[in-house]
Amino acid sequence: MLTQIGRRRILIAALAGAGFAALGITVASSHATSPDSTTATSGTPVELPMSNLNTPAGYTERLKAGVSYQASAFPIPLRVTPPDGTWGGAQWKTSSHGKPAFGWAALAHGPVDKPPRGLIEMLTAFGPTPPVATILARLRSAGGGATFEKTTRTSLAGLLGWEIDGKVFGQFGHGFVPFTPKTGGASPPDDYKLEPGEAFRIIVLDVRGKRVVLILDSAALPADQFPAFLTSANRLLKTLKFPA
């Protein structure tokens, strides 16, 4: 079943109409691009639906437990196999100057016809990515409105990574821009906006020389329930693979 969740972020609401094209944001939302998982042959991953979840029209498709999914819009091969039926998924690209700049994959917890009760978004660039230290410094220094805990080492998908937990406060939320340098006010195609009160965890992985950023946020889930979401997210992320 395909349903629209309409997860509107403050930034997206302010960029209606032609503003998307001017800022190089690709809005992909086609319910016909993802086959139902029952049509997949044994051992063949199913494509996540193509839909930009960070726009009002974004939606996820319910993912089936034990079925392997892939995101061909992602710059490097990506596979995930939900351990249960509580997840929805989507994939999309955002562009800059008319060319694909970043690939995204999202995994949303809870009913697919409502705002997600916890959300995982993964992104990386089609071109070169900055060093891990640059990304971590950029994430921590991107304006006010968020508190950050200590950066710790972690591992995911058999890869070493770096992890930061935090929470958004204040009236205006907080935006993360992990890859793009300062743009003089324009919104870059790797911008990720969190609303006031949202809790988050950011993981930066080095995948064979390309940096991949995962942003886990509480979304419509109360922040005090975020630890329980992380438990479910960790079960899902244990199935994450980046095949060579």
Specify the pLDDT at position 201.
Answer: 97
Give me the residues paired with residue 155 across strands: 160
Indicate whether 25 belongs to any domain: yes
Indicate whether 242 belongs to any domain: no
Specify the pLDDT at position 142.
Answer: 75
Indicate whether 244 belongs to any domain: no
Low-confidence ranges of the chain (pLDDT < 70): 1-42, 183-186
Q: How many domains does the chain have?
A: 1
Specify the pLDDT at position 184.
Answer: 62
CA gap 186, 22 in Å, rounded: 9
| pTM to 2 decimal places | 0.84
CA gap 70, 186 in Å, rounded: 31
Strand pairing of 46-47 and 69-70?
Answer: parallel
Specify the pLDDT at position 5.
Answer: 44
Identify residue 115 by its one-letter amino acid code: P
Q: How far is CA 78 from the centre of its chain?
A: 13
Specify the pLDDT at position 234.
Answer: 97
